[in-house]
Amino acid sequence: MTLQVLSRGANAPLSPTVSRIRVVVAWADDSVDVDASALLLSDAGKVRSDEDFVFYNQPVAADGSVQHLGRAAGDSGAEERLSLDLEEIHPSVHCVAVTASVSDATFGDLGALRFTVVDEAGTPLVGFDITEATSETAFVFGEVYRRDGGWKVRAVGQGWDDGLAGLATDFGVSVADDPASDAADAAGAVAQDPTSSVVVESDLGATEEDLVEVVERPVPESVDTLVPEPPVDPLTPGQAPAPDRTADLSSGAVPRRAAGVRTKKQKPVVAAPVPRLAGEDTWVPARLFSIYGVGAGEEQEKRATSALLATMMGVRPFARAVSAHLGAPAGAVETFLEVPFVLGERRVVPDGMIRVARGGKVWTALVEVKTGTGQLRKEQVESYLDAARENGYDAVVTISNEIAPGTGEHPVTVDQRKLRGVALFHLSWAEVLHEARMVLTHRGVADSMQAWVLHELIRYLEHPRSGATGFDDMGAGWVTVREAVAAGTLRAGDRKVPTVADSWTRLVRQLCLRLTAELGVPVTHVLPRRLATDPAARTQAAVEQLAADGTLQATLRVPGAAGPLLVVADLRTSRVRISASVPAPREGGPQRRISWILRQLKDAPDDTLVDVHYSGAASDTCERLGDVRESAAGLVSERSGDVVSFELTSVAPLGTKRSGVKGAFIPSVISTTETFYATVLQPVRAWVAPAPRLSGEGLGPELSTTAEEAEG
């Protein structure tokens, strides 16, 4: 057969002898994921039900006539394939629309878009080249439709800018994506500039000031997060769908779904392989990145740089997660070490280079790395900015143990003229480690070997000898400021107070990163709006609080937790206080409401403080949890009033040393916060009001009888 090449809008008949076909969607840039899908449409141009949408999360039509076969390598790029059994497609289906979507690019970026129909033997029958794609993220490539008792193919080439969910909705599919994911995408839409902080509205109910949550740069849609649903057994081509998914269509009946489809692409977590053939427990597995023989200074930096950049090149989801912080496009990543440049009469050699190829363009960043106590120097950073500008590169990236006070801020102040045409970014090793943990534990990678490579990087960076220690030093002014607070002589105008305030902000960022990586949800720092977007005002507010009452404070929000976390480091008493306010149930008396919270604290430490807040004239009460486990009488106020909320608090000694592990300030704050969350707040579930109930009088005779039986 001769391939018929169609132009947009044209059509061609399929031979009556052709009963099964494969539809191929091809593109040139194989570093980008394109997902093909099919919509089985009635003569009204809509799906009969959600079961008529065939895609990666629903790979087989209810009658088995259309299947999503997945991705394969093509002759000049990549391709996605669908199979259609024309004889098995139900008569009520008038047309099968062949569509595709992309989440981390636009179709205009991909190049060589082609729609091809082939027969069972792989012989091309009909082709259509798409050359007019621009900003679309979803496309109808073509249609296979009925006409005069046979089948024809039409070249469509119509695009959508709102992705797969938007396209599916327009064809009548009920999309039931996770609202939490939608909120995350909305937060991402705020950050048009990757160098700026992102704030989203807080629901913590500020009374005097508008509160927002400071969110780390959002991960792009291409870096998928896990959807907590049970896995679906994959169906291979030619395999019949499971019986319980198949509807009886003999009379035109339409398969039914309860609550729409999810277009969020699911990616399973793949665990790193564990050696099982060791003869003795003392055998040490071979390591990809060995810490043996690691020195300090230059050698330490070279090893850390090489381990990071090599992992980025080998584990694409991790590379995308890191490069998303840098404003880089999604694409094929290549990394290099110590690329030399001539700058005037000097020779400059940055530690590394990252290059990302996308749609015929190459994004390039120079990388400067510091480990241990190494500090970034202004003149060095500026020389790399000059080298990047002269060579037409896009960015300079610095990586060190310094954590910038806020997202998009840089720990080194450079001449603003150096930033013309070149972006400057900073990542702390804590942020790098955070992204590695998130990808491995929560987002998932392609296979077990990638999981092993990423696991080895995490193991290396977590070892003290790697030099990637994270934020562990409150700075040179810490001891002076702490002693002044204890003596009562600290004033807001003291020179060293702002540096301690900035260090506290860095510590809070590190705490949010650690909790996010452990919990798999975005833990955010809640601030008044005026402070979230103004670093100078934020520092000044912390300075004034420290001078006024000797405390450093932060409020953290954990999605799904019963209440926000308040972290207070009290330098006057050398105590760290972690607390959470939990709203009380809105039904029942004081005894019942107090019993509700105590039941949920059965495994919490005895020294946890339980404050009960009452409305009206009733006095608030407070007791140690260990003293009220048997009887809650000590928490019941002598005056009448409703219990409004509970405040749960843990108090622990505060480390005083500026750095280190034993007796240091930073680890004492982190460990106390994590322990409180795990043992006190995490087990508590927020109260949910029961659904309204119909009385028996409002029910018909049959329903009333049923209700009475249920009660009995």
Question: What pLDDT digit, counting tens, does each position of 486-516 carry?
Answer: 999 999 889 899 999 989 998 998 899 889 8
Cα angle: 650, vertex 653, 656; to 5 degrees: 140
* pLDDT on residue 582: 94
* pLDDT on residue 543: 92
* pLDDT on residue 241: 38
Listed in sequence order, the residues at least 6 apart from 219 whose beta carbon sits closer than 8 Å to its beta carbon are 188, 225, 321, 324, 438, 443
Residue 651 has φ and ψ, to the nearest 5°, of: -125, 135
Mean pLDDT (whole number) for 84-106: 89
* pLDDT on residue 28: 81
> Which has the higher per-residue pLDDT, 547 or 296?
547
Least confident of 224-233, 419-428, 679-688: 224-233
Where does the pLDDT of residue 304 fall: very low under 50, low under 70, confident under 90, or very high at 90 and above? Answer: very high
Summarize pLDDT for 112-150 with one digit per residue, the tens.
Answer: 888 999 988 788 999 999 888 888 888 899 999 999 999
Q: Give the pTM.
A: 0.64
> Which has the higher per-residue pLDDT, 86 or 206?
86
pLDDT(232) > 60: no
Nearest to 352 by CA among 315, 388, 401: 388
Nearest to 270 by CA among 305, 219, 318, 312: 318
The DSSP bridge partners found for residue 554 are 567
Give the chain's mean pLDDT.
82
Least confident of 104-108, 185-189, 266-270: 185-189
Where does the pLDDT of residue 570 fall: very low under 50, low under 70, confident under 90, or very high at 90 and above? Answer: very high
Distances (CA, A) of 633 to 21, 391, 612: 75, 75, 12
How far apart are alpha carbons 166 and 161 in whole angstroms? 8
Cα angle: 698, vertex 700, 701; to 5 degrees: 125
Please state at what angle helix 316-324 crosses helix 298-314, rounded to 10 degrees. 110
Distances (CA, A) of 618 to 99, 369, 588, 642: 64, 59, 16, 8
Pairing status of strand 138-147 against strand 150-160:
antiparallel
CB 400, CB 370: distance < 8 Å: yes
The DSSP bridge partners found for residue 84 are 21, 66
Where does the pLDDT of residue 459 fall: very low under 50, low under 70, confident under 90, or very high at 90 and above? Answer: very high
pLDDT(391) > 50: yes
Distance, first Cα to last Cα, the chain: 73
CB 265, CB 79: distance < 8 Å: no
The DSSP bridge partners found for residue 185 are none
* pLDDT on residue 707: 40
Mean pLDDT (whole number) for 183-195: 35
Where does the pLDDT of residue 193 fall: very low under 50, low under 70, confident under 90, or very high at 90 and above? Answer: very low
How far apart are alpha carbons 675 and 605 in whole angstroms? 10
Percent of the chain with pLDDT over 70: 83
> Which has the higher per-residue pLDDT, 256 or 138?
138
Mean pLDDT (whole number) for 506-531: 87
